């Protein structure tokens, strides 16, 4: 069974708006990562947050982690049409091997 589950499954917004995606996981983790996948391509790593961190920023990306709720969120600020992609969370527990969720499909309309 998969560890992480993203919500919503699909998100459609206008350019310039913020996009928020959530991820829930079931067991304790060492770290959680977010990946992006453009249509027909492989996944690309965006950001990693460790279990002892609560928030992390990278450019227009902001990731939060709430270990008490076993959840994480990815915020993309001032979205662009080029942000259109699927976004996956991947959590790692005792093993270094991440378990991926089903993804959120984001469409940003110009």
Site string for another protein, 56-75 (x = CB under 8 A): --------------------
Interaction of residue 101 with another protein, rule CB under 8 A: yes
CB closer to another protein out of 48 and 75 = 48
Interaction of residue 45 with another protein, rule CB under 8 A: yes
Compute how many residues bind another protein; rule: CB under 8 A.
Answer: 24
For the bound state, the minimum distance from the C-beta of residue 66 to another protein, rounded and expressed in Å, comes to 20
SS3 per residue for the chain: CCCCEEECCEEEEECCCCEEEEEECCCCCCEEEEEEECCCCCEEEEEEEECCCCEEEECCEEEEEECCCCEEEEEECCCCHHHCEEEEEEEECCCCCCEECCCEEEEEEC
Choose the stretch contacting another protein; rule: CB under 8 A; options: 14-22, 66-74, 77-85, 101-109.
101-109
Residues that bind another protein (CB under 8 A): 2, 30-31, 33, 35, 40-45, 48, 50, 88, 90, 92, 96-103
């Amino acid at each position: 069974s998969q560890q992480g589950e993203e919500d919503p499954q699909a998100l459609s917004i206008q350019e310039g708006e913020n996009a928020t995606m959530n991820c829930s996981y079931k067991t304790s983790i060492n770290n959680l990562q977010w990946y992006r996948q453009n249509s027909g391509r492989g996944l690309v790593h965006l950001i990693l947050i460790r279990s002892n961190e609560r928030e992390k920023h990278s450019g227009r990306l902001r990731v939060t982690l709430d270990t008490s709720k076993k959840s994480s969120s990815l915020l993309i600020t001032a979205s662009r049409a080029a942000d259109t992609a699927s976004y996956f969370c991947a959590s790692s527990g005792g093993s270094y091997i991440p378990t991926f969720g089903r993804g959120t499909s984001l469409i940003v309309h110009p």
